[in-house]
Amino acid sequence: MPGRFISLEGGEGVGKSTQSRALAAALRARGLEVIETREPGGSPGAEAIRTLLLEGAGDRWTAEAEALLFAAARADHIARTIRPAVARGAWVICDRYVDSSIAYQGGADGLGEEAIRTLHGIGSGGYLPDRTLLLALPGEEAAAREAARDAGKPDRFGARDASYHAAVAQTFRRLAEANPVRWRIVDATGTAETVTARLVDAIEDLA
């Protein structure tokens, strides 16, 4: 069976990390080798860059510098973790990928989609997932979950204002609707188990 690359996307508080773990467990129960990873991060070099990106003041980096750092981390992540795993037949479940850069730096920060895609082409050869799952949750509910999770200590991105996160959500939705072959929009309301079942249904055609 060929390896597969699945990414989970969405704004802050929609449950990507929880659902990444749950989806990986569901696939392992089918006897598949599953690699769980995340962005920024997923390889030693990319994890070092993750610290630079998520910690510090909100204005620590310009949008341009952030985009370059994300692209550099992603290039190392793909080369050292994602591609080797898929090549040997494993399924890779990634919490965020290049579409997050498009939504955050490209959309909310105004750099534009093409700028991010250009960096992705240079650093990673334009490598894309077999399926991208967008966890969709009303903004108010996502904000409440995020506040409860972070207990008043959000990272540099979570600390940004509501209008910023609305722009992120709008960009994600536009990307998903423009490419229904790669993307699936998954309702993230309800119990965690219910959401996981929806995610499994959304990748059944890849098995």
| Structure confidence at residue 157 as a pLDDT band (50, 70, 90) | confident
In sequence order, what DSSP letters do the residues of 111-179 get, joined into one string?
--HHHHHHHHHHHHTT---SEEEEEE--HHHHHHHHHHHHTT---TTTTS-HHHHHHHHHHHHHHHHH-
Render pLDDT for 86-139 as a digit per residue (tens, 0 to 9): 999 999 999 999 999 999 999 999 999 999 999 999 999 999 999 999 999 886
| Structure confidence at residue 62 as a pLDDT band (50, 70, 90) | very high
Domains of the chain: 4-206 (3.40.50.300)
Predicted pLDDT of residue 165: 87
